[in-house]
Homo-oligomer: A and B are copies of this chain.
């Protein structure tokens, strides 16, 4: 797989180069400096990679899909800027968040402008026959991610979040934008309707696995790699599947108290996080979450088999496997 890794890195550097072009030297500076700040901090560029590889899988030139991929990358980063305000997060990828480095109005407005930039980038396809569909899927991803964030916020104050609630939220908040990445790539490559459906299914399963992995890493990753504090989701009282499963299993008083704190209005101190980790581990929640992740990863790879088998699908497979194994 050594070769695939260097191909991936090559693509990432192309994506970063093009992203710099799209964002650079825009005015007013108070609007665009924060956008450059977040877009240049080296995200993993998963979404543009998915887009480009899906394009190649569909039989197109992967470079053809780079601007569609960037539109999604900008959309994704927009959600980070606004979510960080709403969650009052201090750090993102190890750097101070925009609303703290600048201020609240700047963070709101720069986020807003990112959507304009994403649409402008996507408009580079305005003369494509598929442009109407591209805008429709972009809009789908955009609306879903807003609704997913709304559900996430709703669950912060909800006393009874079910597994079903959690999966609905994840489908909207995480999976939809990954689906959009794949579908836009497919549309750029001229994918047939049946393959667009497979790309959507692939994005859905990948998205669920991806979010569960994110939830797990929040508690089990190396802090320096994660770029934010360990146990952030617990402190923010996120109703992850980890918490929902632990709640079903908690029997003794100590465990119940820890769980109840997440569903209460109490502030959870950072130094309680090790106790949470010990409990989740002891209740075998981490083990079961890993099983569920494996299940969704397997589904993704199976769906991938339904698509045309070529260099694009091989790159997609490599990326999926890499995401399965990620440690941050």
Contacts and interface: CB of A to CB of B under 8 A. Distances in A.
Interface of A: 27-28, 30-31, 82, 85-86, 104-106, 108-109, 111-113, 115-117, 119-120, 122-123, 126-127, 131-133, 135-136, 138-139, 142-143, 146-147, 149-151, 153-154
A136 B149 contact: no
Contact of A154 (B28, B117, B142, B143): B28
Contacts of A82: 108-109, 112
Contacts of A109: 82, 86, 146, 149-150, 153
**Copies assembled:** 2
A154 B29 CA distance: 10
Nearest to A82: B108
A120 B146 contact: no
A135 B153 contact: no
A151 B26 CA distance: 13
Contacts of A116: 139, 142-143, 146
Contact of A31 (B27, B86, B122, B146): B146
A113 B150 contact: yes
Contact of A143 (B120, B138, B149, B150): B120
